[in-house]
């Protein structure tokens, strides 16, 4: 195992009862009587008829709360903003930029928004499970319109707060209904996965994924660790365009991964944040999920429309649970709704309508596919140009071809922490400290400069 378990988990079989029990003492502390506050000098209480007012004297009741560390990814953007050098480059955050390095709103999104405006649609609450038209198209996009699992009504789908919120609801489902199970996540993985499972109190451990020697997949290690996990574990898989490495298993390797998961009765949990954005094809990028589904396996899939439709701030995504029967799917859906209700009541409407219109209107759908191909194509072309620049400038004979084997928005450069810091300090190139760069934030014009920065950091910093 690449790393041992680290979790806040305290698991009980009937979580809903224990949660309510846990709340009781906290609710008592929250009453306005003086006895409830810690320390005599801490507060003065004024009694005025029926109301008791508590007035802070000099020490905040939040004094015991320490400063949280900066988010490793969003912190990179802060450092970038503070840098005044005109050569600066932000390759930290995974958001698409044009060749001029500007944010991009897709034309199909603008058209869908115009349609919504023209129809004068209202802003009433959605149901807890979200917009029905969105839930229908999102499951079809993922599994394929004619997939028998949809006709058999075996998929429980609810709209989520983008990829993150959908993962969080699924984590809550695992915590409540699989209290003795843990989840295996890849080493490394997207930074927020650990936060999500920690906060949901789902124990996790890591399976080997990245091999620094080859800057490629440690397939043997991955299989060994999945095999060694207790039977019935959840296995978190990146459906395509693995974040942060950009390294995906080959179709043959995916089959072997499915074999071992099936044999060990594990439950696959796919995180699909880049459908269509990795290869440029929606179908190709969903092929891992569809292959597992075709084997009759039960599985979970969190979806996001942040990247492929550029709807980052709209917070639109979904959680899908593929069950072995329609009856189980109905029950699972009812519980997903039950988990969502006290967290955020019901999801936001605007992004759901955009997706439903884009996917559900044939002309917009084909226009979306063209725009997505264009975005994926721009990323592929800067990937090629970066490789060409590195190969031309590096006279040592080092093979940089691992960059071309990676897929999607990111590239794992193999630079370590000190080298990544040199990229920012000396070259004004901002990236995450694990050596990841977002190629979506790179332009063709900046490839040579980036290659110089990488070569200097790689050879001159240890």
In the complex, the residues that contact ligand PLP under the rule CB under 6 A are: 94, 162-164, 190, 238, 243, 271, 273, 304, 306, 312, 317
Q: Which is nearer to ligand PLP, 207 or 400 (CB)?
A: 207
Longest dimension (CA), the chain: 84
Q: Which is nearer to ligand PLP, 358 or 447 (CB)?
A: 358
Q: Which helix (H) or strand (E) holds 89?
A: strand 89-90
Shortest spacing between CB 304 and ligand PLP, in angstroms: 3
Residue 210 has phi, psi (to 5 degrees) of -100, 135
Q: Which of 111, 182, 190, 368 is catalytic?
A: 190
Q: Which is nearer to ligand PLP, 166 or 422 (CB)?
A: 166
Q: In angstroms, rounded to a whole number, what is the distance separating the alpha carbons of residues 446 and 257?
A: 38
Shortest spacing between CB 244 and ligand PLP, in angstroms: 8
Residue nearest ligand PLP (C-beta atom): 163
Q: Which of 218, 225, 271, 285 is catalytic?
A: 271
Residue 90 has phi, psi (to 5 degrees) of -100, 105
Q: Which of 204, 248, 285, 307 is catalytic?
A: 307
Shortest spacing between CB 231 and ligand PLP, in angstroms: 26
Q: Which is nearer to ligand PLP, 162 or 187 (CB)?
A: 162
Residues shown for the chain: 462
Q: Note if 190 is an active site residue.
A: yes
Q: Which is nearer to ligand PLP, 434 or 456 (CB)?
A: 434
Three-state secondary-structure class, residue 135? helix
Q: Which helix (H) or strand (E) holds 51?
A: strand 51-56
Q: What DSSP string describes 144-188?
A: -TT-HHHHTT-EEEEEEEHHHHHHHHHHHHHHHH-TT--EEEEES
Q: Note if 388 is an active site residue.
A: no
Shortest spacing between CB 238 and ligand PLP, in angstroms: 6
Q: Note if 285 is an active site residue.
A: no
**Six token digits for residue 245:** 């490495």
Shortest spacing between CB 182 and ligand PLP, in angstroms: 19
Q: Which helix (H) or strand (E) holds 190?
A: none
Q: In angstroms, rounded to a whole number, what is the distance separating the alpha carbons of residues 284 and 305?
A: 17
Q: In angstroms, rounded to a whole number, what is the distance separating the alpha carbons of residues 38 and 265?
A: 50
Catalytic residue numbers read: 190, 271, 307
């Amino acid at each position: 195992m690449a790393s041992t378990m680290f979790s806040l988990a305290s698991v009980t079989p009937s979580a809903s009862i224990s949660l309510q029990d846990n709340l009781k003492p906290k609710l008592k502390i929250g009453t306005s009587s003086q006895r409830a506050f810690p320390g005599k000098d801490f507060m003065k209480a004024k009694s005025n008829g029926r109301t008791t007012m508590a007035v802070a004297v000099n020490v905040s009741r939040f004094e015991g709360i320490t400063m949280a560390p900066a988010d490793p990814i969003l912190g990179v953007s802060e450092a970038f903003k503070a840098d005044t050098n005109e050569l600066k480059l932000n390759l930290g955050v995974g958001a698409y930029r044009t060749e001029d390095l500007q944010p991009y709103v897709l034309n199909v999104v603008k058209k869908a928004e115009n349609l919504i405006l023209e129809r004068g649609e209202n802003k009433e609450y959605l149901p807890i499970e979200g917009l029905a038209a969105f839930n229908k198209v999102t499951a079809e996009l993922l599994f394929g319109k004619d997939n028998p699992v949809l006709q058999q009504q075996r998929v429980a789908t609810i709209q989520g707060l983008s990829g993150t919120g959908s993962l969080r609801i699924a984590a809550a489902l695992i915590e409540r209904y699989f209290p003795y199970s843990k989840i295996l996540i890849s080493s490394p993985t997207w930074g927020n996965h650990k936060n999500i499972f920690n906060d949901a109190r789902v124990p996790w451990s890591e399976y080997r994924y990245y091999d620094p020697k080859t800057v490629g997949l440690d397939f043997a290690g991955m299989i060994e660790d999945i095999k060694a996990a207790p039977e019935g574990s959840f296995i978190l898989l990146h459906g395509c365009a693995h974040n942060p490495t950009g390294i995906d298993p080959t179709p043959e390797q995916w089959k072997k991964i499915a074999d071992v998961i099936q044999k060990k009765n594990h439950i696959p949990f796919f995180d699909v944040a880049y459908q269509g954005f990795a290869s440029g094809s929606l179908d190709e990028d969903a092929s891992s999920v569809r292959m597992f589904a075709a084997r009759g396996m039960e599985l979970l899939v969190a979806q996001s429309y942040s990247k492929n439709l550029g709807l980052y701030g709209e917070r639109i995504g979904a959680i899908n649970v593929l069950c072995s029967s329609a009856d189980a799917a109905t029950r699972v859906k009812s519980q997903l709704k039950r988990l969502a209700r006290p967290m955020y009541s019901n999801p936001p409407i605007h992004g759901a309508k955009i997706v439903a219109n884009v996917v559900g209107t044939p002309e917009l759908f084909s226009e979306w596919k063209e725009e997505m191909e264009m975005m994926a194509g721009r990323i592929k072309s800067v990937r090629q140009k970066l490789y060409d620049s590195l190969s031309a400038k590096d006279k040592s004979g080092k093979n940089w071809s691992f960059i071309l084997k990676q897929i999607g928005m990111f590239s794992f450069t193999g630079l370590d922490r000190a080298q990544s810091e040199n990229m920012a300090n000396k070259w004004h190139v901002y990236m995450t400290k694990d050596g990841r760069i977002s190629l979506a934030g790179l332009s063709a014009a900046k490839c040579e400069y980036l290659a110089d920065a990488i070569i200097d950091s790689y050879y001159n910093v240890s």
